[in-house]
Amino acid sequence: MNGSTVRAADQCIYCGAKGCYLSKEHVLALALGGKQVLHRASCPEHAQITSELERRVARGTYGFQRAIDGVATRRSKQRADFLAERVRACGVNHAGEEVSTQVPRSQTPRMPIASTFPVPGLLAGRSPEEEATVGMETNLDTDQSSRVMRSLGWKEILWHSPGMNARDVARVLAKTAHAFAWYELGGAEFVPLLLPLIVRDEGSCTYWVGGFEPRRSQLKTPVALREIDVSGTTYLIADISMMALPHLPLYQVVVGLPGKAT
């Protein structure tokens, strides 16, 4: 990669449209730690699809942790309202009554959530039709949780935050991999394989998107491309680090086939 962080596609990287307004695409969403921008890269239809998808993941699945950690957002003025909307502690007081309250950001315990994908099915020899199980890890700061519980005078406490939609996470990873291949190679230098999953939500997401076994830590760059041979066919792989959330593992995505697109 050269030093540039801004490039242009001059067509929609999802459908090839040129005769319409084309908006920019962050390769990896800003909310997830991305800085590389592909200008004139998305038609209105597909910009809406990918923006909504990234919004659900950044604000829903990971919004709670991003708000606590103060991760970059285009809507920083809304962060306090968002955190109040999302974070509620429920529990039982010493009288045995069910109670609930909002907890200030400064007191809210960290409880990072992570999706743990198996190795992509294509690399592991699974069928393209098989959808593998995706795990979810949470790691509540129990010491801080106990301190809050004691300060409230409760005997039990339960924290509520958004759950995880693994398929949405997989589609965001697929979108990131596809956009980065365009950013690095241009659309003519690879044959994309992820478009049905990204734009139409079709097929097994875990056939193309996955993690590593054993789990690997994030790289120092958000996305890196490499090639791998699978039964005599060379595939282009993107290794993705959601750097705004360093507790997440390194993911790998089968982007496409290197070489001239037809």
Residue range 12-31, pLDDT digits in tens: 999 999 989 999 999 998 88
The rounded distance, in Å, linking the Cα atoms of 62 and 161 is 9
Q: What pLDDT band is residue 68 in, cutting at 50, 70 and 90?
A: confident
* Residue written as token pair 């994309």: 192
Provide the pLDDT for residue 155.
95
Provide the pLDDT for residue 62.
83
Query: Between residues 37 and 3, which one has the greater pLDDT?
Result: 37
Provide the pLDDT for residue 88.
79
**How many residues belong to the chain?**
262
Backbone angles phi, psi at 43, to 5 degrees: -70, 165
3-state secondary structure the chain: CCCCCEEECCCCCCCCCCCCCCEEEECCCHHHCCCCEEEEEECHHHHHHHHHHHHHHHHHHCHHHHHHHCCCCCCHHHHHHHHHHHCEEEEEECCCCEEEEECCHHHCCCCCEEEECCCCHHHHCCCCCCCCCCEEEECCCHHHHHHHHHHHCEEEEEEECCCCCHHHHHHHHHHHHHHHHHHHHCHHHEEECCHHHHHHCCCCHHHHEECCCCCCCCCCCCEEEEEEEECCEEEEEEEECCCCCCCCCCEEEEEEEECCCC
Cβ(253)–Cβ(240) under 8 Å? Answer: yes
Range with the poorest average pLDDT among 44-48, 99-103, 145-149 = 99-103
Specify the pTM: 0.86
Query: What is the rounded average pLDDT of the residues 116-133?
Result: 96
Q: What pLDDT band is residue 82 in, cutting at 50, 70 and 90?
A: low
Q: pLDDT of 154-197, one tens digit each?
A: 999 998 766 678 999 999 999 999 999 999 999 999 999 999 99
7 pLDDT exceeds 60?
Answer: yes
The rounded distance, in Å, linking the Cα atoms of 216 and 123 is 16
Cis peptide before 214 (omega within 30 of 0): yes
Backbone angles phi, psi at 128, to 5 degrees: -60, -25
66 pLDDT exceeds 50?
Answer: yes
Q: What pLDDT band is residue 3 in, cutting at 50, 70 and 90?
A: very low
Residues 144, 117, 59: CA angle, nearest 5 degrees: 55
